[in-house]
């Protein structure tokens, strides 16, 4: 966010490589250590103990060594992700990339403090260790004491607070913050004039909006919920989506299928198999976003490659979590594989 | 064999015992009927509760598997944050019901809030389904709790009733019968002794 | 009319200056442009690769040997520029060069100047991308070299063309 927005496009092309070249070089070495599909397949086939043994030889080795229960696996994976974010902060200091990547976790922490400040009963939720903002300062900023986080964050927190206070119910903070997160991320990408990151952020907004719309209808959310929850900036017009929320089912699905995401939604809307309906939206939307990421390889030497690497690592961590937790909870191999099917792993993990 | 009661063998006692026997027989019959009825209810309750338990366990296992998948798709912190301030709360109403004069508990789940008080955009879709499943299972779990408790109470009651029936059937009634027979025999004996004595006296008088 | 134009052309061919510059000046101009193009391109191209390579070397210094060819390959365009510049002085008797022939030398230098400038920059980008293959497996160097080498062919073609054009210009 400290980046000069008025850099001309022509200068950018020439600046890109000197600015990001070294970081990209280091990322290339880390890309080489990602798990390949054969290894993932072996993990799916093995028992939990063997999974850990397989992973000992990888980047995950030091973090997962000796893990036997779910909590240790979770802690190990989080520590690994933390190490990746530390790498990112080290190699991309002074650029927008850390801001772009940390945003999600900063919003997570903001949500936690906002929820606590609303004073709704419940246990204190977990903070994320991957945010870029100091949590104590964040807490005091949410309390309304200014002057510690700078005008950008303080203004943002104030807006979030006002908007979520206007809505009833415990879901308000999540509803508003998730939407603002997606819009802010798009704004960062737009400020940087990175076409691929803008594309990715817009696609992420579309996917999130579709998920909200489909799930919200199943859960019977009221129409005003969609006006609060759907984010602007995607390729699908927000106001049209809000209008769609009240349509009868056949008209609703017909209009969704007519959008550019129709192919992705076909299974979700029409499949007879309940398992398919349940998992295909998440899986297909992940696959769709990963395909967007694959497009970033063309910009081989810019910040996009670094973002791609980070997102793929996050995806890999999620994938490992699905496999390892699945093993620990006795989920059968075919069920695990169905959730991870085809490009989710093949396209997502191989560099 | 049941011993006889320590009573004086006289006619008063006999009448009293006869009355007791009639009452015991009637009581036995009533208890026996109650026992049969309880048995019938019990068997039905057990079958119901077993079926319910099977169903609840199956639903829970399924919900658990879905939830395990859903939770593995996000970090623990994210899930924790998403579910930390639930709107849903449950209100449990407890009452009593009478089954063949046995008091069994009756549980009912009252007003509940919505469980979906988390953001839909960034959480896994499986979460909806697994939580909806838990939501559907909860009333059944409450029903199962009531039904299993009722089965336990019925079982205790049946045990008690059977002990009573058995006590009547194998102890009290035989004892009474034995005693009555004893008193009758004793009385007969007295009668005969009396007769003999009278005959003897008559003989002595006539000599 | 036609005769007049032909005569004027004949006159221009014999003239010692063209457009205010002598043949000698045109030829030197051409030599300088050839090297400016090649040299600048190579400098930029090598900067690109070395930026990425330095990142790789931070993670694994042992890769230096296998990255060296990729680092060096955008440098060839600078050499082509230099060769062209030197050939101008060797091929032609600069002092006696007419204005028009000097202009032709200048034009002949342009393929090297432009093609080498652009190809070196893009070769730098290609080599930087290809170094990802070396980063993954050192043995992939052979394959990784093919990609920038394809770009290289056009720099070579431009050099060949320039030299061929030199041979066609009357000394």
The answer to whether residue A290 is domain-embedded is yes
**Closest chain A residue to the Cα of B124, Cα to Cα:** A282
The CA distance from A264 to A269, in Å, is: 10
- Overall number of domains in chain A: 1
Residue A97: which of A323, A296, A320 has the closest Cα?
A296
Contacts of A181 in chain B (CB under 8 A): 122
A41 Cβ contact partners less than 8 Å away, ≥ 6 residues apart: none
The CA distance from B60 to B53, in Å, is: 10
pLDDT for the residue A238: 82
The answer to whether residue A161 is domain-embedded is no
The CA distance from B91 to B108, in Å, is: 8
Other beta carbons within 10 angstroms of residue A51's beta carbon come to 23
- Ranges of chain C with pLDDT below 70: 1-14, 171
Contact between C128 and A32 using a beta-carbon 8 Å cutoff: no
| CATH number of the domain to which A246 belongs | 1.20.1690
The CA distance from B178 to A85, in Å, is: 94
Written as six digits, the tokens of B77 are 């912190």
CA distances, C165 to each of C27, C101, C110, C168 (Å): 13, 12, 11, 5
The answer to whether residue A332 is domain-embedded is no
β-bridge mates for residue B95, sequence order: B106
Host domain of residue A217: 195-301
Nearest neighbour of B118 by CB, restricted to A77, A127, A174: A174
Q: Which of B68, B73, B119, B132 to mutate to test the interface with A (most CBs of A within 10 A)?
A: B119
DSSP A130: T
A10 touches chain C (CB under 8 A): no
CA distances, C43 to each of B97, C50, C58, C72, C110 (Å): 93, 10, 22, 11, 19
Its pTM surpasses 0.90: no
Contact between C136 and A351 using a beta-carbon 8 Å cutoff: yes
pLDDT for the residue C13: 59
A and B interact (at least 3 Cβ pairs within 8 A): yes
* Whether A69 contacts A48, CB under 8 Å: no
| Burial profile A277-307: b = 16 or more Cβ within 10 angstroms, e = fewer | bbbbbbbbbbbbbbebbeebeebbbbbbbbb
**Minimum distance, in Å, between the CA of residue A4 and any CA atom of chain B:** 30
Q: Which of C44, C55, C58, C138 to mutate to test the interface with A (most CBs of A within 10 A)?
A: C55
Q: For B11-83, where are the alpha helices, taking DSSP H only?
A: 11-72, 76-83
| Assembly ipTM | 0.76
Nearest neighbour of B81 by CB, restricted to A78, A126, A221: A126
B128 touches chain A (CB under 8 A): yes
CA-only gyration radius of chain A, Å: 21
β-bridge mates for residue B102, sequence order: B99
Phi, then psi, of B104 in degrees rounded to 5: -120, 150
pLDDT for the residue A13: 54
pLDDT for the residue A15: 66
- Tens of pLDDT, residue by residue over A129-150, are 788 887 777 777 777 776 677 7
Domain boundaries, chain C: 2-168
The answer to whether residue A58 is domain-embedded is no
* Whether A209 contacts B121, CB under 8 Å: yes
Architecture of domain B11-196: Orthogonal Bundle (1.10)
* Whether C60 contacts C137, CB under 8 Å: no
A17 touches chain C (CB under 8 A): yes
Dihedral angle of Cα C25, C29, C31, C35, to the nearest 10 degrees: 160
* Mean pLDDT per 10-residue segment, chain B (207 residues): 74 89 91 89 90 91 82 80 74 81 81 76 81 85 88 90 89 88 87 90 89
Helix/strand/coil for C17: strand
C91 Cβ contact partners less than 8 Å away, ≥ 6 residues apart: C166, C167, C171
A322 Cβ contact partners less than 8 Å away, ≥ 6 residues apart: A336, A339, A340, B69, B72, B73
Chains that touch C (3 or more CB pairs under 8 A): A
Contact between A17 and C57 using a beta-carbon 8 Å cutoff: no
The answer to whether residue A179 is domain-embedded is no
pLDDT for the residue C86: 93
Q: What is the DSSP track for A216-252? A: HHHTT--HHHHHHHPPSSSSS-HHHHHHHTTS-HHHH
The answer to whether residue A297 is domain-embedded is yes
B101 touches chain A (CB under 8 A): no
Angle at A18 between CA A12 and CA A20, to 5 degrees: 85
pLDDT for the residue A4: 42
pLDDT for the residue C123: 92
The answer to whether residue A237 is domain-embedded is yes
The CA distance from C126 to B27, in Å, is: 103
- Ranges of chain A with pLDDT below 70: 1-16, 119-124, 146-147, 170, 271-279, 296-300, 341-351
Helix/strand/coil for B93: strand
pLDDT for the residue A37: 79
- Tens of pLDDT, residue by residue over C23-46, are 889 999 999 999 999 999 999 999
A23 touches chain C (CB under 8 A): yes
**Average pLDDT score over chain A:** 78
Angle at B154 between CA B152 and CA B160, to 5 degrees: 105
Nearest neighbour of A122 by CB, restricted to B66, B76, B84: B84
Q: Which of B66, B75, B121 to mutate to test the interface with A (most CBs of A within 10 A)?
A: B121
Q: What is the CATH number of domain C2-168?
A: 1.20.120.610
The CA distance from B12 to B119, in Å, is: 87
């Amino acid at each position: 966010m400290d980046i000069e927005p008025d850099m001309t496009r022509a200068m950018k092309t020439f600046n890109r490589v000197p600015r990001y070249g070294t970081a990209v070089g280091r990322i290339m070495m880390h890309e080489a250590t990602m798990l390949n599909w054969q290894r993932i397949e072996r993990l799916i086939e093995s028992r939990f103990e063997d999974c850990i043994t397989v992973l000992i030889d990888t980047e995950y080795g030091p973090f997962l060594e000796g893990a036997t229960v779910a909590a240790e696996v979770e802690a190990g994976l989080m520590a690994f992700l933390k190490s990746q974010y530390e790498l990112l902060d080290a190699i991309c200091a002074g650029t927008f990339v850390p801001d772009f990547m940390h945003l999600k976790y900063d919003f997570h922490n903001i949500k936690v403090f906002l929820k606590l400040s609303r004073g709704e009963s419940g246990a204190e939720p977990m903070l994320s260790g991957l945010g870029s903002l100091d949590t104590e300062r964040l807490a005091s900023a949410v309390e309304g004491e200014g002057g510690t986080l700078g005008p950008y964050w303080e203004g943002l927190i104030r807006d979030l607070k006002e908007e979520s206070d206007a809505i009833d119910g415990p879901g308000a903070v999540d509803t508003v913050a998730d939407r603002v997160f997606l819009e802010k991320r798009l704004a960062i990408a737009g400020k940087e004039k990175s076409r691929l990151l803008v594309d990715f952020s817009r696609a992420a907004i579309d996917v999130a909006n579709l998920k909200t719309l489909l799930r919200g209808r199943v859960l019977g959310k009221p129409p005003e919920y969609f006006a609060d929850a759907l984010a602007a900036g995607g390729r699908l017009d927000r106001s049209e989506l809000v209008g769609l929320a009240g349509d009868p089912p056949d008209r609703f699905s017909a209009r969704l299928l007519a959008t550019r995401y129709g192919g992705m939604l076909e299974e979700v809307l029409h499949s007879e198999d309940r398992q398919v309906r349940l998992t295909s939206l998440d899986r297909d939307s992940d696959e769709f976003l990963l395909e967007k990421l694959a497009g970033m390889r063309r910009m081989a030497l810019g910040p996009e490659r670094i973002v791609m690497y980070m997102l793929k690592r996050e995806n890999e961590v999620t994938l490992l979590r699905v496999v390892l937790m699945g093993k620990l909870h006795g989920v059968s191999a075919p069920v695990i594989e169905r959730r991870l099917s085809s490009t989710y792993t093949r396209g997502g993990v191989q560099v | 064999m049941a011993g006889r009661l320590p009573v004086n063998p006289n006619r008063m006692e006999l009448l009293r015992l006869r009355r007791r026997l009639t009452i015991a027989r009637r009581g036995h019959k009533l208890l026996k009927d109650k026992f049969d009825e309880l048995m019938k209810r019990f068997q039905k309750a057990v079958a119901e509760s077993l079926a319910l338990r099977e169903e609840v366990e199956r639903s829970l296992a399924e919900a658990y598997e879905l939830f395990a998948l859903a939770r593995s798709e996000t970090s623990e912190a994210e899930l924790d944050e998403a579910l930390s301030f639930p709107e849903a709360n449950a209100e449990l109403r407890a009452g009593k019901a009478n089954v063949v004069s046995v008091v069994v508990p009756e549980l009912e789940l009252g007003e509940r809030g919505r469980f979906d008080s988390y953001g839909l955009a960034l959480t896994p879709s499986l979460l909806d389904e697994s939580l909806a499943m838990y939501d559907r299972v909860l009333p059944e779990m409450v029903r199962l709790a009531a039904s299993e408790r009722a089965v336990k109470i019925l079982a205790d009651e049946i045990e008690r009733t059977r002990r009573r029936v058995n006590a009547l059937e194998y102890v009290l009634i035989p004892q009474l019968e034995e005693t009555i027979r004893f008193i009758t025999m004793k009385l007969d004996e007295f009668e005969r002794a009396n007769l003999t004595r009278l005959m003897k006296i008559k003989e002595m008088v006539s000599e | 009319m036609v005769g007049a134009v032909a005569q004027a052309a004949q006159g221009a061919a014999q003239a010692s200056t063209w457009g205010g510059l002598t043949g000698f000046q045109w030829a030197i101009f051409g030599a300088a442009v050839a090297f400016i193009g090649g040299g600048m391109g190579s400098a930029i191209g090598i900067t690109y690769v070395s930026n990425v390579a330095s990142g790789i070397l931070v993670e694994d210094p042992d890769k230096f040997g296998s990255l060296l060819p990729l680092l060096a390959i955008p440098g060839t365009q600078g050499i082509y520029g230099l060769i062209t510049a030197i050939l101008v002085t060797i091929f032609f008797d600069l002092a006696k060069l007419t204005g028009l022939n000097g202009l032709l030398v200048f034009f002949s230098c342009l393929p090297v100047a432009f093609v080498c400038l652009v190809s070196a920059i893009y070769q730098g980008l290609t080599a930087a991308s290809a170094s990802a293959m070396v980063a993954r497996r050192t043995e992939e160097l052979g394959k990784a070299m093919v990609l920038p080498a394809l770009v290289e062919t056009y720099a070579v073609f431009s050099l060949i063309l320039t030299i061929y054009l030199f041979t066609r210009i009357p000394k």
